[in-house]
Amino acid sequence: MHAHILQHLLQIDRHGPRMQLGRAGLFQFREEVRVLRAPFFWSCLIVVLAGEKEILRGDGVLRCRPGQWIAVGAGQEVSFRNLPDPARGYFAGLTIAADPAWMQRFAERYAADLPSRLDAAPVFTADALCWKTLADYVEQVLLPVHSPLDEALAEHRWQALWLALARQGVARDLVTLPPENWRERVLRWIGADPAAEWKMQDIANRLCVSEATLRRRLASEHTSFAALLADARMDRALYLVMKTGQTVQRIAEACGYGSPSRFTDAFRARFGLTPTALRGAASPVPSVQEAG
């Protein structure tokens, strides 16, 4: 099943509007790549389609093989290594984000129907229904966008996928909506424009609290305004490096850095490799036949 889905995804422009509509992305790497502390602002489902993905944790390594799924809860930092498939020559993984607006509507509609207990294991093997709803979702992402109804249908199929996960009893951090915290409120503003010269007072004003109150509330969640600003900029940087052809200088500007060298240093300090090294490991688009 995973090879069939990979074949479909290789047929479309992964930088185009359909992938944006579906909140989905296909990531490919021709070389082994290790990324440290990648931020996940929103919950995310990762499906390994070719090669292996290792989740690096303090208590060991979780290995996710082709066809296995990974659930990453909102607010986590994940260090990982992508290992190319020796036969195909590349790693491929599908990511599906839990869009905040979609997740809110899902919770309002289905929270009372969800099982009281869901498995929190990050790596799991999906059942047949999960694979079927994932395939339906991918098919929707492939369709041309003609009207707002296309987005409504994409959300409907996304909901079916999330319901299938709940029915199997897995992916607790994906299918349940935690109470909104101050971290998320700040990131909502910063994430809309990471390049802006944000000050804590700017965000405090938007949240209708004093700067001192915002500082205390972020401290109670073990974070700070400076840390969230850096997270938001690095999150945008990671996406732009892996999913666009923009120059390092353009990406630095889009992420609020005055010079490419300062940006490169910050990127390497955060993720363990330079933007150029990460982009060099990325795969050129293979032909459909390569998905085999």
In a domain, 292, yes or no: no
pLDDT at residue 291, as a whole number: 44
pLDDT at residue 44, as a whole number: 92
The tokens for 215 are 């500082």
pLDDT at residue 292, as a whole number: 45
Distance CA 102, CA 160 (A): 12
Same domain, 76 and 192: no
Same domain, 170 and 260: no
Same domain, 171 and 190: no
Of 127, 148, 177, which one is at a domain's C-terminal end? 177
The CATH number that applies at residue 214 is 1.10.10.60
In a domain, 290, yes or no: no
User: Which pairs from 56-63 meet CB under 8 Å and 24+ separation?
Assistant: 56/80, 56/81, 62/122, 62/123, 63/123
Q: Which domain holds residue 249?
A: 182-280
The CATH number that applies at residue 67 is 2.60.120.280
Of 157, 177, 197, which one is at a domain's C-terminal end? 177
Same domain, 12 and 91: yes
Under 8 Å CB-to-CB from 35, ≥6 apart: which residues?
Answer: 79, 80, 81, 238, 271, 272, 273, 278
For each of the chain's 292 residues, which pLDDT tens digit applies?
Answer: 787 888 777 776 555 555 554 567 888 899 999 999 998 888 899 999 999 999 998 889 999 999 999 999 888 889 999 999 999 999 999 999 888 888 999 999 999 999 989 999 999 999 999 999 999 998 887 777 778 888 889 899 999 999 999 999 999 999 998 777 898 889 889 988 999 999 999 999 999 999 999 999 999 999 999 999 999 999 999 989 988 889 999 999 999 998 999 999 999 999 999 999 999 887 655 544 444 4
In a domain, 286, yes or no: no
In a domain, 137, yes or no: yes
pLDDT at residue 109, as a whole number: 95
Domain count, the chain: 2
What value, to the nearest 5°, has the Cα angle with vertex 232 and ends 227 and 238?
Answer: 120
- 103 SS3 class: helix
